[in-house]
Structure formats: structure tokens, C-alpha cells
A and B are shown apart, each in its own frame.
Chain A
Amino acid sequence: MSLPRSIWKIAIAVCLAAPFAQANAQGTTPGVAIVRGVVSDSTNHAPVIGAQVIAVGTTRGALTDTAGAYTLRVPPGAVTIRVQRIGFAPSQRTVNATLDGTTTADFVLRPVSTVLSEVVVTGYGTQNRAQVTGAVTQVDGQDVQNQPVAGVDGALQGKAAGVQVSQNSGEPGTGISVRVRGASSLSASNQPLYVVDGVPIANDPLAQQLFPAGSEAPTAITGLDPNEIESITVLKDAASAAIYGSRASNGVVMITTKRGQAGKAKFSVDLSTGIQNAATKLKLMNATQYVTYMNEGAVNDGDGIQFFAGIDDATSTDWQDAIFRTGPIQNLHMGVSGGTDALRYNVEGSFFKQTGIVIGSAYSRANARVNVDYDATPKFSLKTSLGLSRENNDRIEGNNSNDGIVTNAIGQPAVYHVRNPDGSFTSTADTTPSNNSEVYSNPVAIGTYDRLPDVTDHLLGNIQGDYIFNSHLTLTGSAGVDILHDNENQWRSPLVIGNYAYGAHGVAMTTFDNTNHYLLQSYLTYQGGSEAGSSLTVVGGGSIEYNNEESSLLRGEGFSSPEFQYVGSATNLVDFGGIPTANNLESFFGRANYSYKGRYLLQGSLRADGSSRFGINNRWGYFPAISAGWVLSDEPFMGNFSDRFGQLKLRGSFGKTGNQSIPNFAALATYGPANYGGTPGIAPLAFANPNLKWESTNEWDAGIDWYPFGGRISIIADYYHKLTSDLLTRRQLPCTIGYCSYFDNIGNVLNRGFEFGLNTVNIKPSSRGGFSWNTDFNISFNHNEVTKLNADQPVLGDNYRDISRAAVGQPIGEFYVLHFKGVDPATGDAMYSDDRINAGNPQPKFFGGLGNTVGYKNFELRGFLEFSHGAKVFNLMRIFADDGGYSYDNKFTYALNRWQQPGDITDEPRASFDGTSGGRVISDRFIEDGSYLRIQEITVSWRLPAGLFAARGLTNAKLYVSGHNLHNFTKYTGYDPDVNSNGTSNIDLGTDYYAYPRARTFTFGLSGDF
């Protein structure tokens, strides 16, 4: 769908009319004045390098050099010069610049905590951390680079209080869930809104048509190269996020990419290479143990034994070893940035490649970015950001599939070999005894013959113009695009015996999915007053978004040769599909910030969103928010508190945000296609709800920001209470009327919790190259509870065993299964309760991260721990791998602790081939403790001595060696407790159904600037 013609006409009119318009003043060339000076540190008078110096009210800016000196060209007259740098409090002064003359303005900056000096990116603007009244966490780009995960969302794990990142699967390039302050939705998306350089991008799991429901999905943010990121800001509470209105319920992640600075062209290179291996292996039985156990199960039930000691266990195959391999991982990033006062650029490109630790899987990505800042005049500047990426993801059939490689490797008993003597792959189809309904396809065959390449192209760009009327008023207009093309192909080879494709003589599928977002927005910013006295900032504007998506699918079966792997060669076209869909959003927003003496802070905002998704009776939603802050330490009655104990700010906020990620046409009553044989047909599809609207979250937040001991400690803590109501649910109808459900808004979910972030400078270097030690720590507690559902009816998850549900009074995803009461010492039978109980919460009680950085001379050591406590994991693999011997699957070795004779006290039931000991009943016997403490990263880096390569122009050169996911302390018996095989489901959480294991990585890298 293209933009309406009216918009294009106006845009063209603007572009054409401008050159022909006459200026109504100034016929002469304006002159230029020069302001220069030196910026130094108040404590030791050392020069402050890299400080930003801006002429307020113009586009003019500069950076201080290695001597702390700067030069600015400004229009003559009174001009306010403002200096800021991370680690120092900002300072500004007004000087009178003389035409064609030079004015000197020196600054002395007072050091403060790094956190306090941050410039925080908010919606439609920025704010100094000192002025912030909401709950906002900022993560530096450095902290998400050089991580062995494809996307920035994975790299955020453990780095920000209140942000829970789960890696549902170890498969490269997919499977990350991000939750800000808990999950609140059952049917709409729980992912936060990502805004990249001002353009909101949709980060719902990409519609993938070739995978079973609920399995892992890639998301759009994986295409963004973490090396391009300058900073990431997470807007957590309603007050900070409400400016994004109906998309802000789940928090907003603002990503800003790096821009060029004026100066000589600087080339940067970052090259790293490493290897990955499976971090853990499951403890599964070998052939001898398997034969012993299975035979005992047969004898116990009076059946004939089916395996023969000495023959079947003569050799033992470790199937995990057969599918695991060492996977290399490489990353090359190069960039050049620089420019003049008027034109600055940042051009970068990178290539990332990760070969998966499971055969058949790999991921690679190529990125390019061009960011240009052009200060056309002192009043008008243009910023363009353009990012391109192509991802090649060789996927494998995985979670939620009985045809997966990992699934079959774990299921295959060790008595079977990988290959026959003639080299062909074995298959248990012919060899398994007759009772068996589960035949294991050879996972090495699957990895060798089946293909699932997925290519995603992503274009993310925007152009923004800022017109500065004067030092108070700026008009910003921007246009952005987010275009994503995803092409998935799948080939399931008939050479893999036992799969559907074997009977169907090969299955090939191809899909194309194109998603387009166009954004037009414009807003005015007014800034008045001074920081010393009272100041007021007001932003107001509007935006329009056009979103559309089109997909197509073809599936063919019946191939005359396994070499023909594309749909075009199929005998039968068995399925075809294609869905066009669209939604539009129209918005108005405004925000005002008032601060008095920098001590009393007040902010209010309002956003109105109209969406085509909402029912006709509820087209528009309104989202207000208010927050206030009080810098208590600056109060006169506190005396010299701030000198002794640092700055202390109390803040509180209250606001309303929404979630509009409901299906595009959910409100309408429709008929859809329903063909019969070759006759075209239509049939009723959906029941209407003209009142359908967004989910709504009311949240209040109380927080403290404290920077004691001269800023050596920063503490940011928040308590929040978030009530989400009008949940989008499929409200049940009596199926008797022909529809079993329709979309309605009923249901409430409560999230409340506490976040704590601490940054400390434990040891400050006494001199350059001295010993330093910094710590950063964050921890979050969240209580999640469903407080209301339609008629108090629990909502089930998608897992067909119905183990997870959302029920009133319980957290989302509470496991609801029978209770295992133990093994009867007299019979060895497992005993269960009659009814299901609430058996465990998959959400953690608390989670967080602890990082330490130690430096000495040219060395730096960084260690990062990531932890989560209290979550439960349902180990679904045990339905087959710990079932008492009913199925032929290989078993966990702890099944060897089985009951064997009356009087045995154990938790493992009697081995029973007919299942009479009850081992395979689905119960909380399979629910395990998912708490863990992970050594996420240890990196040692060595800054090369300046003299070594200076002659070649290489500065800032650094060598580093890094290990990731080195060890995970946990009691969980699967691969990793941070898992969810139903990654795209909101209700099925913490289930492990043969999830792709996580890797341990060692990398070696070199980076430097030219």
C-alpha cells in the first residue's frame, strides 16, 4: 500500500517551492565570530578531552581536543556556550561574540558520577539525568558489543534493572524474549517497543510460516549490528514511556546509533574470532545402562526382553556427540567517521558469522550504515540515518517438533549406530520392536539432508530536519522507513527415513514475507528559562504511521530426485497461501517539563492514538502521565548534605500506557475463503466486537536517585505497581453458536516489584595507569499475578498437554498438573494426587547481573555474572526420557535410581515396559528448579602501548581474550534453565522440549583506531 497521493503532493510542493521563495530580510552575507577556550577538571586542572561544546540556539558544536581546547564559529552577538561531558556536571555561560573577532571562554568542570552526568534519550528529545523524574535505565553501547549473540536484545541480558531477557533457545539468530517489569498480556505482544533513531520498529516475532506454532522466532531487532549502537535507553515506567501511548505498556527501548564527530577522518577496526562448543551435555544412559534398564522394565511386567546384553550393548553411541560440533564465530567491523563543523559522517560496515554447535545450523549477518549530520545553516540541520542488513540464517527443525535434530538425538537409544557398515544412515524404523509408536529419525541424517535457509533483508532509515527558530524554539520533522523482507525456504529430504517427507517423497516450501512501516512525524520543542532559575521545556506534535504486510507461501510434495529441492520441481502443489494485511496509526502527543532551581521537577505528558485496529466505537485512546522529582539534597534545610552525602533525588510518577498489538482486523465480523474440492467457497470466520480496544496499563512508580561520596556511588532504586486491564483475550462463546470465541477486552494482570541499580567506583586510580576497580550491579524483584479473567475462567497455553495456564490469583504461566506424591516403597509405583494443583511459577522471584571491571596499567579484566532465582522449569523431555521405560527413548542416568525391590526409598519409579508404574504421567515430578548463577563473561584486554604502532597511525589498539557462558551453576538437569520451547507463546513459559543447547564461547579479538 503506498502513501496517499496527498502526502506526496505536499512533500513535492515543499521541496520545489523553497528555492523560489524570497527571503524577507537579510540580503547580505552574515558575518562570523569565533569563540575559543580551554576546558579543565576542577579537581586537578587536567584538560578535559572530548567534551562537547555547543552554541545554544544554533546547530554549532565542537569537541575539545587533547589539550582541552575548542574553537567555535558562531553568529555575532550574545551567545550561550554550554559544555558537557560524561563524568562531569554541565556548565554554561553567555558571552558576547564580536563580529570577525575572537572571544575567549574557559570552563572548569566539576566531576560527578558517570551516571549522574548521562544525557538520557527520552521520547522526542533528551534530558540530563539530573532532571529525570521517571524510571529510565541507560546502557552504554560498549556494554552490548563483542557479545557472541547475534542481536542487541540478547546482549542486554542482566544489564538493566527491571529488564528480563530470556534466551529461549541456543539456536543462533533467534529466540530472545525481553520483558520490562513483567509480562502483562495473554494474547497481545509482551515485547517492548523498540525505537531506533526515532523510528519505532515492530519487534513482534516475525511471521514464520514454516515452523510449528510456539517455536522460536527471529525478531526484527536481530538485524541491527550491536557495534553500531551508541546507547540504549529503556523507558520503564508510565511517565517516561507514555509519550508513546498505545504501544508503551511493555516499556520502550530507545536505541541510538553512532554519529560522526567533527575532526580528521577516524578509521576503526574491530576483528574477533573464536570457537563455540556445547556448554553442557545431558547425562543420558549408555548402551549397557539402557539395555539393563529396558530389560528390567520388560521383566517387571512379564514381557519378553527385547535387548540382549553383549550384543545390543557391544558398542555405545553418544548421539549428543554425533550432533554437536565446534562452531567458529567471527566478527569483523570497520568504520570511518569524521567531518567538519558543517558536515559529519559515520559510515560503518560489519560481517558477523556464527556456525551453530548443532550440525546444520548457522547464522551470518552483513550490515552497513551511513549516518550523516549536515548543518546547512546556523538555523537548519539535517540528520540522516540509514542502516541495511542481510541475515542468512540456516535454521534447523527444533523446539516443539518431533522431527528436530536435538529431539531425535536425545531420544535415540545408545544401542543404535549413526551409520550402517555401508555408510548409509541408520533408521530405527525397521529395527524397533513392534510396540513402538515412536520411531526416531536419524538426527545426523536430518542435519545432513534437510535445509531451512532463511534470508532476511532489513532497511531502516530516516531523515530528520531540525529548524532552530531561536534559542527557545525548534521545529523537527522527520520521515522514516522500516522495510523487512524475509524469505524462508525449507527442504525436507525423502532420504531421512521415518519422517513425513519419506512417505511423501520430499517436501519443499518457500515463503516470502514483506513488512513495511512508514512514519511521518513533526513536533515543536520550546525551551525556556535557565537551569539555575526555573526552566520549562515543552514538546508537542503529531505523527502518522502506515504499516502493511504481505506474505505468500507455496508447498510442494513428491520429488523425483532428492537433488530437486525447490517447490518448482514438485509433483503436487499441496498448499499455497498469502495474507495481505495492514494497519494505520495516527497520533498527537505533547509533554511539558518544568524545573525550579534544578530542585523541584515536574513533568506531564499526553498522547492520543487512533488505530485502525480498534473497533469502530473505540477508535481513539488517550494516555496521560505525570511525574515529579525533588532533589532533596539541594534543600537549604538539608545543610551541607549534598557535599557530604552527594545528590539525593526523590521521584514519583503515575501514568497510563497502552498495548495495541492486537490482530489487525480482530474487531470485524467476517467470512473467509473455504473451498470444497475445486469449488470456491466462503464460510463464517469471525464474530464481531465493535468495542474492541487497546489493553491499558495504569502504573505508578516511586524512586530514589542517590549519588553519595562524590559520585563514586550511584544508586537508582524504584518501586512500581503496574495494573494492566482490558486484556485482549479470546473471550469464550458457547461453541454451540458456531464460534468458540471472539476478541474482547477482559482481564487484569498485576505486576509490582522493586528494582535496584548500583554503580560504584571502588578504587580510583591514584595516577594514570594505577589500579582501578569498578562494580555495577542490578537486581529486580517482580511479583506477577493475574487478577481478573472473564468469568474467572483460566486461559490455557498452546501446549497440547495443557500444562501452563493463566488463572486468577496465579502468575501467568503457572503450571497446573497432577502432584507427584512419591514412589510407594512397597510396589515402586508412582503416586499422584487425583486433581491437578498449582505446581510452580515459571517466573523468577528475582534476577539481575553483577559486573566488575579491574584495571591496572594497560590491562583490564572484566567479569560479569548473571543470575535468576526462583523460576521453575518444566522439563518436558522427561515425558520420554524419564518415563519408567514405556517409550524406547534414551533415559536420563538418574532413572537408574529406580525402585527395584520392596523397601527401596527413591524418587524414580519402577522400570515398567507397559507403563504400569505410572512413570509417564504428566505431573510436577518433571518440574525442576530453574534458578541459576551464570559466569556470563570474563574478558581480559590489553591496551597496546602507544608507541608500538603509533608510527602506523594505529591508536587505541587493544587485544582481548574473552570467554562467554563459562559456567552455569544450576540444579536443572536439562541443558540450560533459561529456556522456553514455546518461545512465541505468552502463557507457555519455562518449558523445555528439546531446546537447542547454549554454547560456551572463547574469542580473541583486536580493535584499534587509525
Chain B
Amino acid sequence: MTNRLYDFSSRMATAMRNRILMPALLLAIVAGCNGLLDVKSKDTIPTESAITDSTSARAAIAGMYHGLQSLSSYGSDLPEVGDLSSDNAEFSGTSTSYGEIDDNIISAANTSVLNIWAQAYDNINRANEILDKLGALTNLDPATRDELQGEAYFVRALMLHDLVKYFGDVPIRLHPTTDPNAGATITRAPVSAVYDQILADLDSAASRISDSSSTTTASGGAVRALRARVLLYRGDYVNAEIEAHAVESDFTYDLAANYSDLYSATGNSTPEDIFKVIATVHSDQQSFLSYDYFAKALGGTYLLRPTSNLLAAYDTADLRGKWNISFAGSRRYGSKYRSITGTENFPVLRLGEIILIRAEALARTNHLPEAVAEMNRTQARANAPLFVLGSNNQQQVIDAIVAERRLEMALEGDRWPDLVRLGTAATVMDIDPTQTLYPIPQSEIDVTPGLTQNPGY
């Protein structure tokens, strides 16, 4: 038995040696060669073949809006720093970057500031990719191309305006690049040039977008509403009033019956919505506004909270004060956003703001009774005491509108850019005038020699 086994295995071994084993193994290695080192990824698409038809183009548009959901964009940071830097909110957490923003002593290495800058330009790049690639596609019908490009122009304008509000002169990016040394030629464009670009983009958007019904993507109404805001910021009050008036009369927007309807946890839409960024329960689409403002006892992180100054600014009857600020025990917290799972859609543009833009534009062009009538609309909706024109002069009416704007838009990221626009940020916050602009992130300056830093940093 042993011998036969020995014999058998000996023959096998000999055969292997003589004929099969060595070449077989080497062949095995070489045979695997072809394509062995070209492994395809299963969860990403090569950039060159990403946008090829209308389906992928629409997907890219959705991806562009997804960028607005980012926590460094409207998902958390942008609405928060807009109040944190101002007298509306103060820091109550542990992160040093938010602490600096609250104190208005921001280091150029501040990571929140860098993230806001980076996400805004990421979103601009997404828009640029779409604009360039759609222009080259031949299998797209013109109506779809216009609609989608119009949306990209809108988002680019929105992002550029956010950047210029916080940073002042900023680079204008109009095309995507694959050159890792692109930083060598990037420079900051002066504020006026940026505004020119924004308005040009809004014109391009207006001529292309025909949709007027969507409130979660760019629509004709959204374009005009954004233009109204941009013109107000620019100081072009006459045209700001025209645009705001057009939004009110050419479209079917109306104030929501209750202020609280705007921030519904289920994301329900209201007639006041012009452009809202969707938030859903999925972790990459969640809004963190409620999580950051809520007291810990209610499951939030209590990262920042409304100031006692803001609380005192609301009249006791004002429903907005009750909705925006609440107490957990003795702890004051921001209760505007109430879904602990982060599903409130964020209102980027709504009729309430348009009304107050029109009010201020009217006041500045000395149409005081009409201005007061506009302002009264949001006050009435909120059950706040109505401003009476009486013997108030133009400046007093303007101040009242600015104060009303503060109460109406509280915790939506509007107050700080508003104070900066009005030139009163330094006095209201008791800070140095150089601190009214955020620093250009130091890490950006390090790789972009053409960028200069804002004064004071």
C-alpha cells in the first residue's frame, strides 16, 4: 500500500517537474497580466465621462444644489456665522473657530472661515463644470440646455454674492481647470467687478430660466429676488425697488399665514418660499441648524445661542420672539429650527425679505408712506406693534426698517452682512473697522501668491 502510494506520487511528481508545474505557474502569472493593474472603481465616475446627456446633466445640477446643503454652506455655517458675528447670537460651545467669529477677532487660520470660502468656490466650480460641458454637448435640446445653464448661472451668482458680502474683493472663477498650478494666476477682483459679474450672471439666468413654480431649485422668481437683494447691497435702491416690486406682483408669492410655517420640521412649503435649500433626514443632506442651536437637554450641541440683546429687541407680543428664542430651564437657546433630525428646508430667499428690501429701497428714495406700509406687512404677520410714520424722518424710517429686518430675519444669517452693508457693524459691535471683513484664509494666500490679505489681518 505504501509502495503503491509512493509509486503514484512519484510519477505525479515527475510529471509535474517535467511538463506542467513551472510553465503553468509562470503562465498563470503572465496570463493575469492583461488588465490586472487597471482596476475600475465602482462608486465613482471618471470626470471626462460624467456629463454626457440630459440625464447626467440633470444629475450634475442636483449635485450642484447638494453643494448648498453642505455644513459649510447653508446646512450650518453660513446661516450661523451671519448671526454669530453680529449682535444676534453668541458662542456657547467649545470650538475655537466659532469662538473667534463671535469675538470678531478672527485669525487667518480659522478653519470655519476656510470651509465657507472653500465650499462656496466648490459650488461655483460645479456650476462652471455644468456651463462648460453643457455648451459642448450636441445631444441636448436647447430648452433643456437653457433651463439647466440658467440654474447654474443663478447658483454661481448666489455664491459670488455670499463671498463678496463676507470677504470683500474675491477672485471670479468662470471656468473649471485641471491645472494644479492654476493658483499662479488667480487674483482678487474688486468688489464692483464682482457685482458686475453677479448681475451679468443673473441676466444670463433670467433669459434662460422659464420655470416659475419650483421653490427648491432656481426659478424665475428666485432670479429676480436675488437681483433685488444684490441691488440693495450695491446701493442701487431705485432698481432694487423695481425688482422687489416685480417679485411681489409678477409672481404668486404671498406671506405665510404664520411665521412658524416657514420652518416646518417636515419641510412643507409655504406661499412665501422663493428659494429654499432642501434638508432631509439622510446624513449627507441634513441641516445642522437645529442641532447646533438646541440646548443639550433637548439633544442639541448648544454651539451658539441668541443674545439677550436680541431677546430684548422683540416686543413681548411679537410671535417671532417666541418662536425664535426659547428657554430650557434657565438656559436661553435658539428655537427657530426645531427638527432634531435636521429636516427643515432652509429659506435662502423668501418674500419676507423681499418686502423689507422694498421697504428700505422705498425709504431711501424718499417714499416714506409706501415704505412704512411695506414694513407693516411683516410686523402685522408677526403680531408685532406696527410702526407709525407720524413725524418720523427718513433716517428714522430707515432705522426702523433695519431693526424690523433684524427681528424678521433673525438666526437666518442676515444680520452681519446687513450691518456691514450699512456701514454700522463697527459701531454696533464696538469693533475695529478692519474686522468688518473676514480674513482671506491664510492657506489660500500661501498657494495663491496673487491674493492679498484684508487689512488688519
Which A residues contact B (CB, under 8 angstroms)? 4, 6-7, 10-11, 13-14, 17-19, 21-26, 29-30, 376-377, 379-380, 429-430, 433-434, 436-439, 467, 469, 475, 477, 497-504, 520, 522, 542-544, 555, 557-558, 572, 574-576, 578-584, 586, 610-612, 619, 664-665, 668-689, 731-740, 742, 744, 791, 793, 800-802, 879, 922
A56 CA to B109 CA in the complex, in Å? 68
A544 CA to B36 CA in the complex, in Å? 9
Contacts of B12 in A (CB 8 A): 18-19, 21
Chain B 26-50, CB-CB to A under 8 Å as 1, else 0, gives: 1111011100111101111111101
The closest CB in chain B to the CB of A611 belongs to B37
B428 within 8 A of A: no
The closest CB in chain B to the CB of A478 belongs to B25
B22 within 8 A of A: yes
Contacts of B249 in A (CB 8 A): none
A672 CA to B401 CA in the complex, in Å? 45
A-B contact pairs, 22 of them (CB 8 A): A13-B20, A14-B16, A18-B12, A437-B92, A555-B283, A574-B286, A575-B283, A586-B36, A668-B44, A671-B47, A674-B63, A676-B62, A681-B61, A682-B62, A686-B44, A689-B180, A734-B447, A736-B171, A738-B126, A739-B122, A800-B95, A800-B111
B44 touches A737 (CB 8 A): no
A736 touches B41 (CB 8 A): no
A735 touches B296 (CB 8 A): no
A590 to chain B, nearest CB (A): 14
B444 touches A734 (CB 8 A): yes
CB contact under 8 A between A735 and B121, given known A668-B41, A676-B62, A683-B126 = yes
A574 touches B15 (CB 8 A): no
Q: Which of A520, A689, A922 is B29 in contact with, Cβ under 8 Å? A: A520
The closest CB in chain B to the CB of A503 belongs to B299
A520 CA to B27 CA in the complex, in Å? 12
CB contact under 8 A between A572 and B118, given known A380-B9, A669-B47 = no
A14 touches B125 (CB 8 A): no
A685 touches B44 (CB 8 A): yes
A735 CA to B60 CA in the complex, in Å? 20
A679 CA to B66 CA in the complex, in Å? 10
A171 to chain B, nearest CB (A): 24
A348 CA to B74 CA in the complex, in Å? 59
What 5 pairs across the A-B complex have the smallest Cβ distances?
A503-B299, A738-B125, A681-B62, A21-B15, A683-B63
A676 touches B9 (CB 8 A): no
B122 touches A18 (CB 8 A): no
B10 touches A584 (CB 8 A): no
Which B residues contact A (CB, under 8 angstroms)? 3, 6-22, 24-29, 31-33, 36-39, 41-48, 50, 56, 58-67, 69, 92-97, 109, 111, 114, 117-118, 121-122, 124-126, 128-129, 171, 173, 176-178, 180, 182-183, 186, 216, 278, 280-286, 291, 294, 296-300, 302-303, 329-332, 340-341, 441, 443-444, 446-448
A764 CA to B425 CA in the complex, in Å? 85
Question: With contacts defined as CB atoms under 8 Å apart, how many contacts are there between chain A and chain B in the complex?
Answer: 315
A668 CA to B69 CA in the complex, in Å? 25
Q: Which of B29, B111, B182, B294 is A737 in contact with, Cβ under 8 Å? A: B182
A681 touches B26 (CB 8 A): no
A24 touches B21 (CB 8 A): no
Contacts of A674 in B (CB 8 A): 62-63, 66-67
Contacts of B298 in A (CB 8 A): 503
The closest CB in chain B to the CB of A520 belongs to B28
A542 touches B121 (CB 8 A): no
Contacts of B8 in A (CB 8 A): 19
A665 touches B92 (CB 8 A): no
A10 touches B24 (CB 8 A): yes
Given A429-B296, A434-B331, A738-B125, 15 more A-B residue pairs with CB atoms under 8 Å apart are A6-B31, A429-B297, A504-B341, A522-B25, A575-B282, A578-B43, A671-B50, A675-B63, A677-B216, A732-B443, A733-B180, A735-B122, A736-B117, A736-B183, A742-B180
A23 touches B95 (CB 8 A): no
A434 touches B182 (CB 8 A): no
CB contact under 8 A between A542 and B26, given known A612-B38, A668-B41, A683-B63 = yes
A672 CA to B282 CA in the complex, in Å? 17
The closest CB in chain A to the CB of B267 belongs to A677
B67 touches A683 (CB 8 A): yes
**Residue in B15, B62, B126 whose Cβ sees the most chain A Cβ within 10 Å:** B62
Contacts of A793 in B (CB 8 A): 443, 446-447
B66 touches A24 (CB 8 A): no
A74 CA to B176 CA in the complex, in Å? 75
Contacts of A737 in B (CB 8 A): 121, 125, 173, 176-177, 182-183, 186
A665 touches B330 (CB 8 A): no
Contacts of A802 in B (CB 8 A): 109, 111
The closest CB in chain A to the CB of B179 belongs to A737
A614 to chain B, nearest CB (A): 8
A21 touches B26 (CB 8 A): no
Contacts of B24 in A (CB 8 A): 10, 13-14
Q: Which of A438, A555, A671, A680 is B94 in contact with, Cβ under 8 Å? A: A438
A204 CA to B447 CA in the complex, in Å? 32
Contacts of B278 in A (CB 8 A): 676-677
Contacts of B302 in A (CB 8 A): 437
Contacts of B286 in A (CB 8 A): 574
B273 to chain A, nearest CB (A): 14
**Residue in A670, A732, A740 whose Cβ sees the most chain B Cβ within 10 Å:** A740
B138 to chain A, nearest CB (A): 20
Q: Which of A542, A738, A922 is B176 in contact with, Cβ under 8 Å? A: A738
**Residue in A501, A676, A801, A879 whose Cβ sees the most chain B Cβ within 10 Å:** A676
Contacts of B284 in A (CB 8 A): 575, 675
Q: Which of A19, A377, A732 is B6 in contact with, Cβ under 8 Å? A: A377
A512 CA to B65 CA in the complex, in Å? 31
Q: Which of A439, A557, A668, A742 is B297 in contact with, Cβ under 8 Å? A: A439
Contacts of A742 in B (CB 8 A): 180
Contacts of A503 in B (CB 8 A): 294, 298-300, 340
B50 touches A18 (CB 8 A): no
B251 to chain A, nearest CB (A): 22
A28 CA to B221 CA in the complex, in Å? 98
